[in-house]
Amino acid sequence: MKMKIHRPGWAASLIVLTLFLSMAAFSSSDFHERPVQKRADVIKIDSLTSFGDLEKAPVVFLHEKHTTALANKNMDCTACHLMQNDRMYPKFKRIKDTDRIEVMNIYHQGCISCHGEMKIAKEKTGPVECDDCHWENDHYTSSRQPAGLDKSLHFRHSEASKNECQQCHHEYNETEKKLFYAKGKEGSCRYCHEEETKENRISLRLAAHIACIDCHAKAKPETEKVIKPPLSCSGCHDAAAQAKIRKIPVVPRLQRNQPEMVLINAASKRLKSDQGTNRMDLVPFNHKAHETYNDTCRQCHHASLESCGQCHTVNGSAEGKGVNSEKAAHTLGSARSCLGCHDVKKQNESCAGCHRFMGRVRKMPEDSCLKCHAVPLANIKPPSDTDQDKAYWARKNLSNPPEPGTDDGSEVPERVIIKRLSDKYGPVDFPHGKILNALMDQIKDDKLASYFHSRKETLCQGCHHNSPLSRRPPNCGNCHGQKWDPDNPTKPGIVGAYHQQCLGCHAAMNIEKPAACTDCHKEKDSSN
């Protein structure tokens, strides 16, 4: 005889166990699915990684939460950060890392003792148990945005420091092992301070926090109208706060002995060098104008403020990481090259309607290179190495841009009747001339577009993208067949080409699209 009396007990136990596991799963799920908060002040304390693998998860530290708590007790940054040489250092209660045990003890003693004292005083405080700090799952993620000085902010700092550039700019004397100010050689902090600390150069993050926060803390605005510079993490690294930073409408030109005009010469003196010679005419470059197009000199001068040819030589060099002068100027996909930067500009709405479909593989007009390489070598006579001579030729060329083509429009049709799809609809009355004039209006105030489209024929290539430069390019049907050709899968049939080009242009240039077919195609007269 089986003992049925035990079955209800097992069933009850099973039910209890199931309920317990369900509640545990719900509780765990609820804990792990807790919304992740984005904050600009999230700091991950993982200093011990420099001594090897971590035994526990890094500590997620909310900096502004702690500074606010300190301020409520009339305490400042020195409660956690040490001073040296009248400057505050960003590490917690130390100047540098020594060994694993010492750094670990500094955190445990400093953090836990502070929290413990507040807990004894029955004040709201932070955790004192290991796992309450070392979370396996983060509930906060950093929304920190990089901070830097654009031209406007740099000018404001220059004014605030009364043009005492040595407050920020310095070089390192290897012999004397100390910093010094080299007037006239000021460059970006990023040229020396990199992402990670190397030898005697601390990382950019450490350098910025030591110098910037210290200066901000000591700043005393002369009037109440002057905003005190930020000290909090979000004050510099929060996207919303960055958007509120006051911009100077017209920033005076930064004086760094830079030229106004220059002829870009790939080779060195006398147009020759041991590493090669020029094979193309020289490029006149309006340096002063290009300064106004970018927010920072680092857009082009990414390693130093020297000329590009110092690193990017004709045959390439170690200083230029093997990138020669030709690639430095012509590499597409790099916003630091001339063509790459120009290519990015093509994504603007006023340009995208044409350049979206032209592609990069089509054959360029024969005179395309001459738009930039515009000063013949024969015109340069010794001594051509002087800045004055180069500036003269550059200015002379730029004051005489390429002659535009005839604009009487006599060869450009005003209207084109498109009879495709005539079996379903009436012909399309395409306002050809109106569209061409609209494209010209779009670029008339754009110096870059106006320079490269000084001839109206170049605008024709926006639609006639594989045709030679001409006022009467071939019709679309000369290239696109009646139907799609499987042997040329990237080339649509004529109907597909029309719709891709027209609707695509409307989308790229943010122009209202036709709502229905009949907005372009007239209803076919049924009586016919």
User: What is the crossing angle of helices 432-443 and 349-358, to 10°?
Assistant: 120
Which two structure tokens, joined as six digits, stand for 480? Answer: 């696109």
pLDDT beyond 70 at 37: yes
114 and 166 together in one domain: no
Which of 107-121, 276-290, 354-368 tops mean pLDDT? 107-121
322 and 446 together in one domain: no
Burial category of 501 from C-beta neighbours within 10 Å (exposed 0-12, middle 13-18, buried 19 and up): buried
pLDDT beyond 90 at 447: no
| 304 lies in some domain | yes
Which two structure tokens, joined as six digits, stand for 24? Answer: 């545990």
| 274 lies in some domain | yes
End residue of a domain, out of 114, 142, 170: 142
Q: Residue 62 sits in a domain of what CATH number?
A: 3.90.10.10
85 and 122 together in one domain: yes
400 pLDDT tier (thresholds 50, 70, 90): low
Number of domains forming the structure of the chain: 4
What is the radius of gyration, based on Cα positions, of the chain? 33
Which two structure tokens, joined as six digits, stand for 115? Answer: 């929290």
What is the tens place of the pLDDT at every residue in 488-525? 888 889 888 888 889 889 988 888 888 888 888 888 76
What pLDDT, on the 0 to 100 scale, is given for residue 156?
93
98 and 190 together in one domain: no
What is the tens place of the pLDDT at every residue in 345-397? 888 888 888 887 776 545 566 677 888 888 877 776 655 567 777 777 777 77
DSSP string covering 307-343? -GGGTS-SS--TTTTT--HHHHHH-TT-TTSHHHHHH
177 and 234 together in one domain: yes
What is the tens place of the pLDDT at every residue in 58-99? 999 999 999 999 999 999 999 999 998 888 889 999 998 889
**Whole-angstrom distance, CA of residue 80 vs CA of residue 78:** 5
End residue of a domain, out of 100, 115, 142: 142
Q: Which domain, by its residues, includes 333?
A: 261-398
107 and 208 together in one domain: no
HEC per residue, 70-84:
HHHCCCCHHHCCCEE
| 320 lies in some domain | yes
pLDDT beyond 70 at 274: no
- 413-427 residues labelled b (16+ CB within 10 A) or e (exposed): eeeeebebbeeebbe
**Whole-angstrom distance, CA of residue 396 vs CA of residue 365:** 24
The rounded mean pLDDT for the chain is: 82
Residue 473, classed as helix, strand or coil, is coil
Mean pLDDT computed over 268-273: 44
45 and 132 together in one domain: yes
pLDDT cut 90: percent of the chain above it: 34
C-beta atoms surrounding 308 within 10 Å: 21
Strand partners, 201: 198
239 and 156 together in one domain: yes
pTM of the model: 0.76
Residue 240, classed as helix, strand or coil, is helix
What pLDDT, on the 0 to 100 scale, is given for residue 188?
93
